Every structure is written in C-alpha cells, then in structure tokens.
C-alpha cells in the first residue's frame, strides 16, 4: 500500500473496553500502571468509545492518560454511536461534546462513527452526523475521521462509495473469522483496500477466544514456537496485513500487556511457514462448534431480563471447546449470580438482543441450548 495514514504508528493499540476492574468500577491505579507500561514501551494509540463502561472508559482515559502525559505524546481515538438512545439530532451530536468533556483531550486524533451497518447506519444519516463531524474536523477538534463496522463486505463497499471522505475503517479481523461467512473478515479487508483506506483492526483475539484455543491448536502453536502465546499468533497475524494502522488489544491486566509488548515492541511479520501454522490452526478452530460471541455486550444493554448473555456464551464455549462441564457451570454461576445478572432460562424471546448483535448470532436459540447444558 506504500505510504498511508498511520503507517508509522506502532502496530499495537491499547483498547480501553476491557480495563481492569475493582468490583463494578474500573481500577484506575492498575489502569495507570498499564498505561505507563504501554507508553514506556514506545506505543501510543489508545482506543475508547462513548458507550464503553457507560462512559467510564473515557473518564479513565482522562485520569490515566490525558491528565498525566503531554497531549502530543499519545494518540486518542473514541467513537460516536448515534444509534444508542439518541432521540434527536441535538442529542446525537451532543455525544461528541460529552466525549471531549469526559476525556479532557482537547481534540481527538482519530474519531469514528461507531458500529455502522444493518439498521444502525440510518441514524448517522438522519441526525446529520457525517457533515457534523466534518465540521468538527475543520475546527481542529478531529484530526482523522473514519468509522467502525460490523457487517458484510457488500455494505462496507456501499458506505465507502457513498462516503469517500472517510479516511480509515475499523474492522473485525482475526484468523478464525478470516473466511467466516457471518463476519467476512477477508472480504471486508479487501474492500477497504480496494477503496484505498487503511484499516484499524479490532477483535484480533476474538474477544479472548483465540487466547484459549482448542487443545489441538494450542499444541500446534507450542510445537511451532514454544515461547509464543496463542494470543501472539493472533495479533501478529492481524498486524502482518498490509495497510494496517494498528491492531487493538483489549488488555485487562499487566500480564496481557507484558505478553503483547514482548512480541510487538520489535514487531516481526509472520513468515511463510508461520502463515501455514495459522492456516492449520484455523482449520482446527473452525471444526469446533461454538458461539461466535466477542463479548461486546451490545445485546445486554437492552435486554429486559438483564440476562448475562455473553457470560452465558463464554460458559457454553468452555463446554464446547474443552468438554469441561464443571468448568463451564462454574463460569456460568460467576457470570450470572456472581454479578447479579439473569440466567439463560429467563429469556422471554423478545429478540431485542439479535437486533444489535454485530456477530449476527441467533441469541434466543443459543440461550435455549445454554439453559439445557448449564441448567436453570
């Protein structure tokens, strides 16, 4: 792709969606430690969003990053979800100013229209968000403007055709979803490249799923490189693609941070032999039936029964991948009763969750199955 926006940005970005928690609140001291470690290693890109942790993620970015470091020493990205409860143009546009206030950043290096696709895109059209954000860019409040999307390649092609002014795209790309027909990682990536847009990669470890692959895949990686974690294979796969600005990792503890830094500080793209290992791992991974949930939690925000949907699917996948029913039930109890969330059996089949699921999961059917496996 030659020279492109973000070519010189280090290829590991700090995703602030899954920060360390102290009970129900973000652990700011641990977040500060991780921020310090990340910057000291030479990385600069931080990614949050208006809705992450109900706005607490943006506030944490202010406390751990903006208030403690010179503004030019880091790159901060956040996102505007016009579809998330705004009832008017004014309410949708106010989200931008709220993010500015929460972060105290003064301006955003990268700003995104959040989660385009399906029934969500029209909100950005209806509320005039495209033109509004172009105005903010002209005012110097946004340096680079793009969007994130969870939808098919055909939709991405249409959006980029209608909005060539967008400078970059944020896409879900990982080796397991590369040829998955419900995600179309490869096809979406190819569409972005066709339009000449660089890509920010999200979900490179698929919500943590690729950090704990099936036993056969874990053994494959171990035999290829005894010192490399499964996560390192996943992130290096994503970072090895052409035209990548950075690869976001939602790190939630120092161990994950240090592991990521160990192989990304002096990033080495995958070799031909390593690409073959990834292909074999993909075959193994795709042969195991599982719920393709990335734990974004969009489904849970509108659930009238407050069901621990992604927590339930995490438990089901433990059972699917490892045939570990006691471990799956332990995870289920922790994710439901342990945090005050509802159980799968409480689902009333309203379907609100499926309307917002980026992964197009048949959530109602999966909850029925989960209730049978994990118990009521």
Predicted local distance difference test score (pLDDT) of residue 289: 84
pLDDT digits (tens, 9 = 90+) for 159-181: 999 999 999 999 999 998 898 87
User: Range with the lowest mean pLDDT among 134-138, 179-183, 248-252, 355-359?
Assistant: 179-183
Report the distance separating Cα 189 and Cα 370, nearest Å. Answer: 33
User: Which strand (E) or helix (H) includes residue 312?
Assistant: helix 309-322
Average pLDDT, the chain: 94
Cα–Cα dist 313/317, whole Å: 6
The DSSP code for 119 is: G
**CB crowding 274-291: b at 16 or more within 10 Å, else e:** beebbeebbebbeeeebb
Q: What percent of the chain is predicted at pLDDT more than 70?
A: 99
Lowest mean pLDDT among 12-21, 80-89, 184-193, 311-320: 311-320
pLDDT-wise least confident of 131-145, 147-161, 279-293? 279-293
pLDDT score of 321 more than 80: no
Q: What pLDDT is recorded for position 1?
A: 54
pLDDT at 295: 79
Please give the average per-residue pLDDT across 299-320, as a whole number: 92
**Ramachandran assignment for 12, one of left (phi > 0), alpha (psi -120 to 50 degrees), beta (any other):** beta
Q: Is the per-residue pLDDT at 323 higher than 80?
A: no
As a dihedral over the C-alpha atoms of residue 17, residue 22, residue 28, residue 31, rounded to 10 degrees, the angle is -50
Which residues make Cβ contacts (< 8 Å) with residue 132, sequence separation at least 6? 93, 96
Question: Per-residue pLDDT for 111 more than 70?
Answer: yes
Name the CATH superfamily, with its identifier, for domain 12-286: NADP-dependent oxidoreductase domain (3.20.20.100)
Q: What is the pLDDT of residues 70-104, one digit of tens each?
A: 999 999 999 999 999 999 999 999 999 999 999 99
Question: What tokens does 156 get?
Answer: 């991405």
Instruction: Calculate mean pLDDT across residues 116-134.
Output: 95
Which among 289, 314, 359, 249 has a CA at the least distance from the CA of 15? Answer: 249
Backbone angles phi, psi at 46, to 5 degrees: -120, 135
The tokens describing 182, both together, are 């419900």
Q: How far from chain centre, in Å, is Cα 133? A: 22
| Domain boundaries defined on the chain | 12-286, 298-374
Instruction: Report the Cα 121 to chain-centroid distance in Å.
Output: 18
End-to-end Cα separation, the chain, in angstroms: 53
pLDDT tops 60 at residue 153: yes
Is pLDDT larger for residue 159 or for residue 327? Answer: 159
Confidence label for 41 from pLDDT (cuts 50, 70 and 90) = very high
Contact 263, 30 (CB under 8 A): no
Which pLDDT score is estimated for 320?
85
Q: Which two tokens stand for residue 191?
A: 């569409």
- Distance of alpha carbon 149 from alpha carbon 117, whole angstroms: 6
| Structural contact between residues 159 and 121, judged by C-beta atoms closer than 8 angstroms | yes
Distance (Å, whole) CA 177 – CA 347 = 28
Spatial separation of the C-alpha atoms in residues 180 and 183, rounded to whole Å: 6
Element (H, E) at 201: strand 199-202
Which of the two residues, 257 and 119, has the higher pLDDT score?
257
Residue located via tokens 């690729």: 210
Question: What pLDDT was estimated at residue 237?
Answer: 98
Q: What CA–CA distance (Å, rounded) separates 113 from 115?
A: 7
Could you tell me the pLDDT band of residue 318, with boundaries at 50, 70 and 90? confident
DSSP class of residue 171 equals E
Neighbours of 37 (CB within 10 A): 16
Confidence band, pLDDT 50/70/90 cuts, at residue 260 = very high
**Contact, 66 vs 104, CB < 8 A?**
yes
Angle separating helix axes 28-40 and 254-264, nearest 10 degrees: 10
By the 8 A CB rule, do 83 and 50 touch?
no
231 alpha-carbon distance from chain centroid: 14
């Amino acid at each position: 792709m030659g020279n492109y926006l973000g070519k010189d940005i280090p290829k590991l970005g700090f995703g602030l969606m899954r920060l360390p928690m102290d009970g129900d609140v973000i652990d700011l001291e641990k977040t500060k430690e991780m921020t310090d470690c990340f910057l000291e290693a030479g990385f600069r890109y931080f990614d949050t969003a208006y809705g992450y942790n109900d706005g607490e993620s943006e506030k944490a970015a202010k406390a751990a990053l903006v208030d403690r470091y010179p503004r030019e020493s880091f790159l901060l990205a956040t996102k505007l979800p016009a579809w998330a409860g705004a009832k008017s143009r004014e309410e949708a546009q106010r989200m931008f100013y709220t993010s500015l206030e929460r972060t105290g950043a003064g301006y955003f290096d990268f700003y995104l229209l959040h989660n385009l696709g399906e029934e969500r895109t029209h909100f950005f059209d209806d509320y005039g968000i495209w033109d509004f954000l172009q105005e903010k860019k002209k005012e110097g409040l946004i340096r680079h403007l793009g969007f994130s999307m969870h939808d098919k390649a055909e939709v991405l092609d249409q959006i980029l055709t209608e909005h060539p002014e967008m400078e970059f795209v944020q896409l879900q790309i990982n080796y397991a979803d590369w040829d998955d027909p419900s995600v179309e990682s490869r096809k979406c990536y190819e569409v972005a490249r066709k339009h000449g847009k660089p890509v920010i990669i999200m979900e490179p470890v698929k919500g943590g799923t690729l950090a704990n692959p099936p036993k056969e895949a874990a053994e494959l990686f171990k035999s290829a490189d005894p010192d490399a974690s499964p996560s390192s294979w996943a992130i290096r796969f994503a970072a090895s693609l052409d035209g990548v600005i950075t690869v976001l990792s939602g790190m939630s503890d120092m161990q994950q941070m240090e592991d990521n830094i160990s192989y990304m500080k002096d990033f080495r793209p995958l070799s031909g032999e390593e690409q073959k290992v990834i292909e074999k791992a993909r075959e193994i991974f795709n042969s195991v039936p599982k719920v393709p949930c990335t734990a974004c939690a969009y489904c849970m925000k509108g659930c009238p029964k407050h069901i621990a949907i992604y927590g339930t699917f995490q438990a089901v996948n433990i059972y699917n991948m490892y045939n570990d029913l006691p471990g799956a039930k332990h995870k289920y109890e922790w994710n439901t009763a342990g945090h005050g969330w509802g159980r799968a059996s409480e689902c009333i089949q309203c379907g609100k969750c499926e309307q917002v699921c980026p992964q197009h999961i048949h959530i109602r059917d999966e909850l029925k199955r989960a209730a049978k496996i994990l118990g009521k």
